[in-house]
Every structure is written in C-alpha cells, then in structure tokens.
Amino acid sequence: MVNLNLFTTLRAAFPTDLDRTAVETADGVSAPLRYSWRDLDRATAMLANLLESLDLPPASRVAVQVEKSVEAMLLYLATLRAGHVFLPLNTAYQSSEIQYFIENAEPAVVVCSPANFGWVSKIAFNAGTRYVFTLGDDRSGSLLQRAAQQSDRHAPAVKNDDDLAAILYTSGTTGRSKGAMLTHGNLRSNALVLRDYWGWQPGDVLLHALPIFHVHGLFVAIHGALINGSKMIWLSKFDPRLAVSRLRDATVFMGVPTLYVRMLAEHSLTVEQASRMRLFISGSAPLLIETFHDWKARTGHTILERYGMSETIMLTSNPCGPDARHGGATERRGGTVGFPLPGVALRVVDEAGQAVATGEVGGLQVNGPNVFKGYWRMPEKTAEEFTADGFFKTGDVGRIDDRGYVTIVGRSKDLIISGGYNVYPAEIEGFLNELPGVAESALVGVPHPDFGEVGVAVVVARPGAKPDPEQLLATLKQQLANFKIPKRCFVVPDLPRNTMGKVQKNLLREQYKNLFS
C-alpha cells in the first residue's frame, strides 16, 4: 500500500547527501546554527517516537503555541510523521483565545513556551488534554528533553489523501473561530503544484522570514523548500535590515506586503543586493501597485503576487515562467493575483450563484484537490460555505479578465487584513460591546502605510456614560491578540444606519480613510 502521508513525500525529496545543510539560522547576532538533512530526519523521528510513546488515539490534535524556531518546524513535521493533526496557534493569542481553541479542538497534546506553562497548562488540563510540553526558542523545555531519549528511526504512519493533517483556525464573520481541516492530500497536491508552477530549481535557497503558525509561512514556504530539497535561511523574527542583508545568499523570498514595504525603507536594498535572487512572492493581503513598481525599480525584480486562504492553501498565482494554458503568458501583472493554479477551478458568480460574463465582478468560488475538508465539528457551517456542486465560497469578490488574470476587488465577508493577519470586526465589536459604558460599536478597516489596512473602532456610549477611548483600547489589549487591537478609537453620538437599521460601515470607512495617510 502506498503511504500518502505528506511527510513521506517531503522526506523522499531530501537530497541524497544528507549531510548537506537544510536549514541555517540567522538572527544577525549569534553564530548561525546549521541543521543537516540528516538532522531533520533524526529529530523528526525522535519527536514522532515521543508522540507515539504517549499512546494517543489516532489523529489526535497536537496544539502548538511557541515562538518561531527550527525545532517548532520539526515538531510540525514530526506530528505529520506520527500521523497526528497539527494545530498551530499565533503567539499573540491571549488566554481567552487559547481557551476557546483548546476547548474546541480538544487536543491530546499541547506544546507551549516555557514562560506560558502556568496558564496554558491550566486551561489544557481543565479541557482534558493529557500532555502539556514546553518548547523555548532556545531549544529549552520538556519536549526536547523527552524526545532526546527516543530512537532516531521511525516509520511514518500510513495515511490516505483524505486523512487530516492540520487544523487552522480562521475567524468567522459571525460567531467564533472555525477550524479549517486540511488533509494530507490537500497539502501535498498544493505543494507539488507550486513546485512546478514556481519553477523551483536545484540550488534554490529560501529566505524564510514569516511566522510559522499560518498557511503562508508554515505550508507555502516550508513545503516549498523541503519538497525541492532546498536550503532555508531561517529568520526567527522578521527584521527588514537583516532580511535585505541575507538576500545575497538566497534565491527565493516570500512575504506579506508589509514585509516588502519595510524592506523598501532600507537603503541597502539595491539591484546588486538582490542580484542572486530568482523569485520574490507576495500574498496574504493586497499588494499595493506602488509597492509593486517601487520594488521593480529598486531591485530589478517583478514581485509575483498570488492568492490563497487557510481553507484552500494557494489558489491563484501570477506566472513564474511561461504558462502554456494561457498562450505562454509570462507577465506578472501588478494589481492581479494571476491565474488559477493548475488543478484549481475558479469561477465568478453573481448573487444568484450564476456565472458572470468575462470581466464582470462577482463572488469567487473555487474547487480543487487543495480545498479543505470542512470546518472542525461544524457540519452546518461547512454546508453553508459550499455550493450544491461542491465549490467553496471564498467570500472574496473579484473578476477574471479576457486574458485569464484574476483581480480581487474586495470582500463580501466583513474582514480586515492588517499586516497579513486577519481581524474579524464581529469578534472585536463583541468584546467592545461588553466594556463598561459602551452601548454599541463598529470596527472598520482604513488604509495604513505600513500594515496596508488597520482597524478603527467607533463606539457609542451608554446614556450618561463617558467611556475613555484610550482606556477601552487598553482593556481590549488585555483580552485579545495585539494585532487585533484597533489602532484608534472614537466615541460618537450614534452610528450611521441605512433604512434597514444596518450600520453603514462604508460611510465610516470614508470618514476615517485619511487617518493614517
């Protein structure tokens, strides 16, 4: 029987010479750590054996909230190898957020930073988690201590395409976060398509600068390098100066638009500095056309913009080389997200679900082997988001031009994307409305030069109350991940509403659009 475990596919792509460097760390201060391909193989075996020694039920969830480190990546790979389900959590999440994820996903194992062990383990054990380990970004903690006693040989668990590999929580426009269930087949098919479409070559070196708790840094970047046997230069935190300085040693870079904006502010970014680079990829949020042009002028490279979602991994991409499906098109068109990837069906529909004419704007729906299995334990929500003929409704609004390029023009979902992180207004408004003196609130996204878009809170006071905007934000900060905190807060007499009573967020967005310009 063929083992369709994604780990097996990635492992098969390791170079024959296992002593070559697979990952090299760079923090600009300490001496780099080097991990060979053999190290990756042995360490993932030891971690997988540790998970196996715990005698967990098959497909147990392993929830992980730790700082970025090579060992955190190894834990992800080991979880696949052992046949369990990886659940990455943003390090910015606070206790109420973590409590929700743990209670919802019921992980058998939770791994957290040593500093957070007290509160995380309390939440986890109360929710029935059997094991809580710690992992620091300096290789400290109980996880590696326990794994050190394990064998460095391990046969990957046998998996099918349809078996769960990971759950990624993505917030909903209403209600709490939903866990998008991604299978081994979803992840493998997307990794293989991107390997070919982005023309990975022997000798490519990926400069890895993104966090590894979301699709972009965890799957697109790591799978891309591993499935090509390519080395990674590993930045544990994005630092624009350091990233620019390491471009000389790399050939591929992936970033959200904020990373490009910040690197453009570095004088050291020049054509010469980027001369070894083959490919710059941007995604997770719209890339401003000015950034696209500025990057070309400063480095000589045309950024390749692509589009994806937690539920679908990558969906579309501008071409890397000639795309035979589109008459050999090679142009990376700024402002577009390119063509549907091979194997992805993408259609644009009107409100009635009927396909619109070429060039017309409508809702984007997608289908393909990369589209997720559904939301964890939410069959009704899953059913709502799929059409009768099996297309997933992305909630993004766009059009396809006569050359086949897809442009995203907006979103039907009420979502703010700030520096590549998603902020769902409904969640923030829910918290704001509970604060003393607040009658109601609205969160809107406005343009921001660094983060692309940021949230601004507009609050109506209860009769007789005088809530202090700064105090409201400070209180929110104790409850929610820092990137979700509105950058400004205004107290107003009332919110603009239409005749149906619905808050007219477009008017608020218009009113506050120049706040940060």
Of 53-61, 194-202, 271-279, 413-421: span binding ligand MCA (CB under 6 A): 413-421
Q: Which of 309, 400, 415, 443 binds ligand MCA (CB under 6 A)?
A: 309
Residue closest to ligand MCA when measured from CB atoms: 419
* CA-based R_g, the chain, Å: 23
Beta carbon of residue 470, minimum distance to ligand MCA (angstroms, whole number): 12
Q: Is residue 88 close enough to count as binding ligand AMP by CB under 6 A?
A: no
Q: Dmax of the chain from CA atoms?
A: 73
Q: Is residue 516 close enough to count as binding ligand MCA by CB under 6 A?
A: no
* Contact (CB, 8 A) for 247 and 78: no
End-to-end Cα separation, the chain, in angstroms: 59
Q: Judged by CB, which is closer to ligand MCA: 154, or 214? A: 214
Q: To which H or E segment does residue 87 belong? A: strand 85-88
Q: Which of 185, 308, 362, 404 binds ligand MCA (CB under 6 A)?
A: 308
Q: Judged by CB, which is closer to ligand MCA: 39, or 427? A: 427
d(CA 221, CA 232): 9
Beta carbon of residue 296, minimum distance to ligand AMP (angstroms, whole number): 17
Residues 169-208 that bind ligand AMP (CB under 6 A): 170
Single-letter amino acid code for the residue at 95? S
Q: Is residue 286 close enough to count as binding ligand AMP by CB under 6 A?
A: yes
From ligand MCA, ligand AMP, none, which one binds at residue 408 (CB under 5 to 8 Å depending on kind)? Answer: ligand AMP
Beta carbon of residue 103, minimum distance to ligand AMP (angstroms, whole number): 21
Q: Is residue 210 close enough to count as binding ligand MCA by CB under 6 A?
A: yes
Residues 6+ apart with CB under 8 A from 499: none
d(CA 164, CA 166): 6
19 in helix, strand or coil? Answer: coil
Count residues contacting ligand MCA (CB under 6 A)? 22
H-assigned helices in 415-499: 425-433, 469-477
Of 308-316, 395-403, 457-465, 499-507: span binding ligand MCA (CB under 6 A): 308-316
298 in helix, strand or coil? Answer: helix
Q: List the structure tokens of 367.
A: 């289908």
Helix axes 117-126, 95-105, angle to 10 degrees: 30
3-state secondary structure string, 382-433? HHHHECCCCCEEEEEEEEECCCCCEEEEEECCCCEEECCEEECHHHHHHHHH
Q: Is residue 337 close enough to count as binding ligand AMP by CB under 6 A?
A: yes
d(CA 295, CA 260): 8
- Taking the mean position of all CA atoms in its chain, how far away is CA 342? 21
Beta carbon of residue 139, minimum distance to ligand AMP (angstroms, whole number): 30
Of 12-20, 64-72, 304-312, 488-496: span binding ligand MCA (CB under 6 A): 304-312
- Taking the mean position of all CA atoms in its chain, how far away is CA 360? 29
Q: Which of 308, 334, 340, 486 binds ligand AMP (CB under 6 A)?
A: 308
From ligand AMP, ligand MCA, none, which one binds at residue 210 (CB under 5 to 8 Å depending on kind)? Answer: ligand MCA
Residue closest to ligand AMP when measured from CB atoms: 310
From ligand AMP, ligand MCA, none, which one binds at residue 419 (CB under 5 to 8 Å depending on kind)? Answer: ligand MCA
Q: List the structure tokens of 459.
A: 């609050």
Q: Judged by CB, which is closer to ligand AMP: 60, or 282? A: 282
Q: Is residue 489 close enough to count as binding ligand AMP by CB under 6 A?
A: no
Q: List the structure tokens of 302.
A: 């045309």
d(CA 199, CA 338): 16
Residues 390-429 that bind ligand AMP (CB under 6 A): 394, 396, 408, 411, 417, 422
491: left (phi over 0), alpha (psi -120 to 50) or beta: beta
From ligand AMP, ligand MCA, none, which one binds at residue 217 (CB under 5 to 8 Å depending on kind)? Answer: ligand MCA
Q: Which of 124, 147, 157, 215 binds ligand MCA (CB under 6 A)?
A: 215
Beta carbon of residue 394, minimum distance to ligand MCA (angstroms, whole number): 11
Determine whether 229 is exposed, middle or buried from the number of CB atoms within 10 Å of its CB (0-12, 13-18, 19+): buried
Q: Judged by CB, which is closer to ligand MCA: 83, or 286? A: 286
Q: Judged by CB, which is closer to ligand MCA: 50, or 423? A: 423
H-assigned helices in 269-378: 289-299
d(CA 56, CA 62): 10
Q: Is residue 451 close enough to count as binding ligand MCA by CB under 6 A?
A: yes
Q: Binding residues for ligand AMP, per CB under 6 A?
A: 170, 215, 283-286, 305, 307-310, 337, 394, 396, 408, 411, 417, 422
Q: Binding residues for ligand MCA, per CB under 6 A?
A: 210-211, 214-217, 238, 256, 258, 283-284, 308-310, 418-421, 451, 454, 482-483
